[in-house]
Amino acid sequence: MDNILIVDDHPENIQLIAEIINASFPNIRLFQAIRVDIAKELCTQTKFDLIISDWEMPEKTGIDLIRSLKEDQTTRQIPVIIVTAIMLTAENLNIALSAGAHDYLRSPVDPLELTARVSAALKLSRLHLQEIKEKDRQLMEKTLIHVKNNEFNRDLIKHLQPLLEICKDNPEAKEIAENSIASIEQKIKEDSWKSFEVAFQNIHGDFTKNLLLKHPNITKSELRLCTLLKLDMNTKDIASMLYLSPESLKVSRSRLRARLGMTEEDSFHNCLSKF
């Protein structure tokens, strides 16, 4: 189900647009805001597939709203249709499109035109969502390769452990075995993560920044856990990726839940998808 936000300081305009949308899109969830600051706050709570905004409003305009959305990675791709009864010149149109508006409608809106524009904007929003999902799928595949490499390296460590006992009377050989095990453990912890982190940042560039803005006390290890939970990875693969036992991961998840102010019923994936 798609979510649409209507922003207008005149409730009667919101009602008119809502009635037209409800008549053509019965499965749409509609939200409303009478000011830009309210709209921005709603965007932190809900993922919108489309925003329909009036241009002229008190304090901040629809153009201000668009520019604010474009500055945030989590809202940058939301298509915005500007509706106006006053700003009707070619120069006004250029201002709206240059700010990042997806479309531009004259008010009072024509029902057929509004329906067509909403349909086109929702298709664009769905296409973007599909692209993100495909990129996440590819990232998951790469991550699982790292998981398998980690499992191989752990098995290698198990095979090297007996050497420590065999070499206990040979300090030089024992040191070589200890250094080899330490190097493999370091590789598991750092090398595979660095590769994953670069790929993740290419897709979700502002995730860490947005998360830290709301939760500045989150630790480095918790940040890593958050990135994997955002991808909805299972517990076994997360434990392998972070070089944790299932018991340690359970404790880490519990601490993170408290850090983020989540209840036991809240989903990590749904919570983190907002950032």
User: pLDDT per residue over 248-258, tens digit each?
Assistant: 888 999 999 98
CA atoms of 120 and 240, how far apart (whole Å): 43
* The pLDDT of residue 195: 66
Average pLDDT, the chain: 83
Question: Is the pLDDT confidence value at 13 over 90?
Answer: yes
- Identify the CATH number of the domain defined by range 206-275: 1.10.10
* The pLDDT of residue 147: 66
Positive/negative CA dihedral, 204, 208, 209, 210: positive
Mean pLDDT across 102-124: 88
Mean pLDDT across 111-127: 89
CA atoms of 50 and 4, how far apart (whole Å): 5
Instruction: Enumerate the domain spans of the chain.
Output: 3-109, 206-275
Mean pLDDT across 103-112: 87
Mean pLDDT across 229-254: 84
Give the residue, 87 or 53, on which the prediction is more confident: 53
Question: Is the pLDDT confidence value at 168 over 70?
Answer: yes
* The pLDDT of residue 99: 84
Cis amide leading into 26 (omega within 30): no
Mean pLDDT across 19-37: 92
CATH 3.90.550.10 fits 3-109, yes or no: no
Give the residue, 68 or 175, on which the prediction is more confident: 68
CB 168 within 8 A of CB 130: no
Question: Is the pLDDT confidence value at 51 over 90?
Answer: yes
Mean pLDDT across 162-175: 77
% of residues, the chain, pLDDT over 70: 93
* The pLDDT of residue 48: 92
CA atoms of 235 and 29, how far apart (whole Å): 33
Question: Is the pLDDT confidence value at 16 over 90?
Answer: yes
Residue for token pair 């095979």: 159
Question: Is the pLDDT confidence value at 269 over 90?
Answer: no
Question: Is the pLDDT confidence value at 191 over 60?
Answer: no
Strands (E), the chain: 3-7, 29-33, 50-54, 80-84, 103-106
Question: Is the pLDDT confidence value at 90 over 70?
Answer: yes
Question: Is the pLDDT confidence value at 122 over 80?
Answer: yes
Question: Is the pLDDT confidence value at 133 over 90?
Answer: no
Give the residue, 149 or 209, on which the prediction is more confident: 209
CB 224 within 8 A of CB 193: yes
Mean pLDDT across 183-203: 69
Label residue 80 by pLDDT band (50, 70, 90).
very high
Give the residue, 225 or 128, on which the prediction is more confident: 225
CB 30 within 8 A of CB 6: yes
* The pLDDT of residue 267: 85
Assessment of whether the complete model's pTM goes beyond 0.85: no
Closest CA to 181 of 205, 162, 194, 200: 162
